Chains A and B, each alone.
Chain A
C-alpha cells in the first residue's frame, strides 16, 4: 500500500501577524512558518499504518515558503520513505489559493501510484476551502474528512470520522481514497535533531517543477484586515498578586465563591 501525505507550512499563529500594504495577505517579512499541526497528525497516522502493514510513505508539498525542506527532512527522519516538493515561480510566502494548490497536487499525484492520500483536515490560513475534498474531486476518488483513525481491513480501509459533541461514525472506504486527518491515533512522534541532520545529509528531495499555475475559480479577495478590538476583554493589570485579587473579587461579586 502506498500512502502519500501532503505537508503544508503555515504562519506560526503565536507570532504577531501583519497585513501587507496591498491588504491581500500577510506581510511575508514578519512571518515564521511551522508545519500545519494536523499534517503532523496525518504523517503520524501514515507512519502507524506503515508499521502495521508495511506501507510506503511519501511526503509531498507545494513549496510556497521556500522553507519546506525542513518539514520534508523531518518527515524523512521520522520514517517517511520518499519526499517530493513542487516548485515553481511562486512568490515566497504568497497565499496561493486552495483551488490552485489542489490542482498542483492533483497534477503531481496523477504521475504517481497511490492507494491513500492523507492531508491535514484543514490549515488555518486559507479562505477557500480545504485541499483534501478538492483533491479527491479532481482525482475522482472518494474522500472522507475529519478522520481520527485509519485501519486497513481486507483490501479497504475502515476510518473513523468525527462529527460534533463526541459523536463519530465508522465508514469503510475503497482504495484509492483521499482522507483529511484531524488527529492520529496517538500523539505525533518526535524526530531527534541528529536524525533530521542525518536525513539532510543522506536523503534527497525530489523536485517537480511547475511552469504555469493552473487555472481555477478563486474567491475574489477584496481585503484582509486585523479584526477591530470591539467587544474585547477588559484587561486586568498589575502584578500577579493584584490580578489574582481582582479575579477573586469578580468571582465573589458574582457569588461564584464565598
Chain B
C-alpha cells in the first residue's frame, strides 16, 4: 500500500493552514490510489496537534525537548531516520520557510528525487504526476514520479485545506527520536512582527506597489492615490527590502496576508510568493507594462500600461 507522508508545520502551538492543505493533497492522492496518509509532527508536548490532523490515518509524533522550537538541524536530524525507515511513496513538505529548509536537505541525504513548487498532484496509472509553478509563475513544469520514495514541496493556497480537516481522529503513535545531542544550531528567541503606523490587513482598499515603482520618491504618487481612494499603500518584497516602505507594509509569503475589497497592484509581476498574500482580495486590478505578467492570472481586471500614466489619469478622474 502506498504511504503518503505529510510533515506538519506549527509555530506558537498552532498548525499552519498549509499543513491542512498538504494533508488535503495527501488524502486525495491516497483515496485515488488506495493508500494511507501518515502525518508527522515534530516538537515537544505536541500530541494535541497530532489529533488535529484529521485527514491522516495515522500520526507519528516525534517528541523531544530539543524540538520545542523549530530549528532546521533538529528537524532534519529527527526526520531522516524516520523517512529512511518508512520509505513513503511520497513525502509531502510545504513550500514555506520551514519546508524549504527540510525537503532539499533530506533529498540530498537520502538520495531521493524532489519536485518543488507543486500546485497540482495527481495519480496516473500508478505514477504521480506533479505540476510546478516556476520562473516566478511564468512557466509550468510537469514531472512524473513513477515510483517512490520521492518528495515534493507544495505551494500555499494550491490544495484544499478542508479536505485536510475532514476525517476521523487518526491513531497517534509516539516515536523516539534518534540522538538529538550536540546540535550545532540553537534557538534563541522568536520575534513578533513589528507593529507599524497602519495595519494593512484591516484596510478595505490597498494600493500596492512593486519594483515597477522604480524609486523611493515615487512612493508619493501611490500615497496620493491611496488617499484619494480612502486606502493605504502596501508593497511587494523588493520595495520593502530596498527600504522604501516599512516591513509592516509587505504583502505575501513572508509578509501579511490581506483580503481587502480592492487591491490595486501597480508594477507587481505576481510571483507566487506575492500572490499567496493577496489572491483572496475581493477585487484585484493590476497595472503592468508586461502583458505576460503572472499578476494578470489572478487579477479580475488588467491594464497593460505604464503605472505612472494610469495613476495620473486616475487622480484626475477622481478629482472630477
Give chain A's interface residues, CB within 8 Å of chain B.
11, 13-14, 16-17, 19, 26, 37, 41, 98-99, 102, 121-122, 124-134, 136-138, 141-146, 158, 160-174, 177, 180, 182-183, 186-187, 216-227, 229, 231-236, 240-241, 243-245, 247-248, 250-251, 254, 256-257
Contact = CB atoms under 8 A, between A and B. Distances in A.
Contacts of A138: 108
Nearest to B304: A235
8 nearest CB pairs, A to B: A166-B193, A233-B302, A129-B104, A244-B313, A137-B108, A133-B105, A240-B313, A233-B299
B211 to A, nearest CB: 9
B104 to A, nearest CB: 4
A165 B109 CA distance: 31
B230 A257 contact: yes
Interface stretch (B55-63, B113-121, B167-175): B113-121
Contacts of B229: 251, 256-257
Interface string B52-87: 000000000000000001111100100000000000
Given A177-B184, A235-B304, A250-B301, A142 B283 contact: no
Contact of B191 (A143, A168, A172, A217): A168
Interface stretch (B23-31, B40-48, B133-141, B158-166): B133-141
Interface string B121-142: 0000000011011111111111
B188 interface: yes
A122 B254 CA distance: 14
B100 A241 contact: no
Contacts of B153: 129
A241 B107 contact: no
Given A99-B108, A217-B111, A217-B113, A243 B190 contact: no
A246 B238 CA distance: 30
A7 B78 CA distance: 31
Contacts of A235: 296, 301-304
B203 interface: no
Contacts, number: 283
B73 A143 contact: yes
A90 B142 CA distance: 23
Contact of B296 (A11, A98, A128, A232): A232
Given A168-B190, A232-B302, 7 more contacts: A144-B72, A183-B237, A224-B142, A233-B298, A233-B301, A247-B301, A254-B283
Interface residues of B, number: 106
A241 B112 CA distance: 56
B219 interface: no
A90 to B, nearest CB: 19
Contact of A125 (B100, B135, B190): B135
A215 B112 CA distance: 12
A197 to B, nearest CB: 26
B51 interface: no
Contact of B134 (A125, A146, A173, A216): A125
Given A227-B297, A232-B297, A240-B305, A167 B108 contact: no
Nearest to B114: A129
Nearest to A130: B104
B314 A219 contact: no
B256 to A, nearest CB: 6
B248 interface: yes
B280 interface: no
B104 A172 contact: no
Contacts of B142: 221-225
A102 B310 contact: no
5 contacts: A142-B72, A144-B185, A232-B297, A235-B303, A256-B229
A248 B248 contact: no
Nearest to A235: B302
A239 to B, nearest CB: 8
B224 interface: no
B233 to A, nearest CB: 16
A224 B97 contact: no
B244 to A, nearest CB: 9
B302 A186 contact: no
A236 B101 CA distance: 41
A142 B73 contact: yes
A127 B143 contact: yes
B255 A250 contact: no
Interface string B181-212: 00111111111111000000000110000000
Interface in B263-320: 269, 271, 283-286, 290, 292, 294, 296-305, 309-310, 312-314, 316-318
B310 A222 contact: no
Nearest to A122: B100
Contacts of A170: 187-189, 191
A255 to B, nearest CB: 9
Nearest to A170: B188
